[in-house]
């Protein structure tokens, strides 16, 4: 049972509501905790994330929600729940870690395993990229993925990110060191892609 109360989590409410063709990106709320826990506890999802333990408990989901609330209250991040625009079904999470002094942010996301291969992650990522550059004035958006995470790589490429390099053995995951690929997109590159119809 969730021990959080929505009225405590005023930071979460700072996330603006974003719409795309099929999706609604809305503020995270207490009612999402059970969905967050269930989705991330799915080994298929957890195996694609960089730092999340397995098994993933309700208490962990509550702690994550509190931490996001704190970060949003002080302006260091912004997170959304990804939902189906028509049914409001929970699909996953999209977030930005914001580095205001650098005019930059790092993108994070995950989608329920049962919703994979429907283009939801790419659609949500593109909408968030538009928000980052056009609404909050970022100069640079960057993202990383474990080198063997092919699904994440596909989304990143479809969004138009540029590979910056491979960080060798920079992540220890389930007892094994892994390489991490890092990508970025600059404001001018985003504008060029927008002009060419990619955004």
> What is the spatial distance between Cα 167 and Cα 54, in angstroms, rounded to a whole number?
24
- Report the CATH number that the domain containing residue 30 is assigned in CATH: 3.40.630.30
What's the average model confidence in pLDDT over 29-52?
A: 93
Write out the two tokens for 20: 């795309």
* Residue 18 domain flag: yes
The tens digit of pLDDT for each residue in 20-40 reads 999 999 999 999 999 999 999
Q: Do residues 76 and 97 touch, judged by C-beta distance below 8 A?
A: yes
Q: Convert the pLDDT of each residue in 56-69 to its tens digit.
A: 999 999 999 999 99
Number of domains in the chain: 1
Q: Do residues 146 and 171 make contact, with C-beta atoms less than 8 angstroms apart?
A: yes
The pLDDT of 77-88, averaged and rounded, is 97
pLDDT above 60 for 1: no
Note the pLDDT of residue 174: 87
Instruction: Flag whether pLDDT at 6 surpasses 70.
Output: no
Distance separating alpha carbons of residues 160 and 185, to the nearest angstrom: 7
Query: What's the whole-number average pLDDT of the chain?
Result: 94
Domain annotation covers residue 148:
no
Residue 176 lies in a domain: no
Residue scoring higher pLDDT (87 or 152)? 87
**pLDDT, tens digit (0-9, with 9 covering 90-100), for 173-186:** 888 999 999 999 99
DSSP 147: T
**pLDDT confidence tier of residue 8, bands split at 50, 70 and 90:** low
Q: Is residue 188 part of a domain?
A: no
Q: Quick check: is 32 in a domain? A: yes
Residue 113 pairs with which residues in a beta bridge? Answer: none
**Is residue 87 a part of any domain in this protein?**
yes
Residue 12 corresponds to which tokens in the numbers above? 């979460």
Domain span at residue 94?
A: 6-141
- Is 161 among the domain residues? no
Q: H-helix or E-strand containing 36?
A: helix 33-41
Structure-model confidence comparison of residues 123 and 149, the more confident one: 123
The whole-number pLDDT of residue 157 equals 95
Give the chain's radius of gyration (CA, Å).
16
- Within a domain: 115: yes
Which residues are registered as beta bridge partners of 106?
A: 97, 142
Question: How far apart (Å, rounded) are the C-alpha atoms in residues 21 and 49?
Answer: 26
The pLDDT, as a whole number, for residue 2 is 57
Mean pLDDT, residues 43-72: 93
Nearest alpha-carbon partner for 154 in 112, 121, 107: 121
């Amino acid at each position: 049972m969730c021990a959080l109360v929505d009225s405590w989590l005023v930071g979460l409410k700072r996330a603006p509501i974003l719409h795309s063709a099929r999706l609604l990106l809305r503020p995270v709320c207490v009612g999402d905790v059970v969905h967050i826990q269930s989705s991330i506890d799915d080994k298929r999802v957890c195996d694609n994330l960089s730092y999340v333990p397995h098994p993933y408990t309700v208490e962990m989901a509550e702690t994550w929600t509190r931490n996001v609330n704190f970060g949003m209250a002080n302006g260091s991040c912004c997170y959304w729940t990804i939902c189906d625009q028509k049914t409001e079904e929970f699909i996953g999470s999209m977030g930005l870690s914001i580095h205001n002094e650098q005019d930059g942010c790092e993108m994070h996301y995950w989608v329920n395993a049962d919703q994979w291969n429907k283009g939801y992650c790419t659609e949500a990522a593109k909408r968030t990229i538009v928000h980052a550059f056009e609404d909050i004035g970022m100069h640079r958006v960057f993202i990383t993925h474990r080198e063997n995470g092919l699904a994440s790589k596909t989304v990143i490429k479809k969004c138009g990110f540029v590979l910056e390099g491979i960080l060798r053995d920079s992540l220890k995951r389930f007892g094994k060191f892994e390489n991490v690929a890092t990508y970025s997109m600059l404001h001018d590159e985003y504008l060029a892609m927008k002009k060419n119809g990619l955004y």
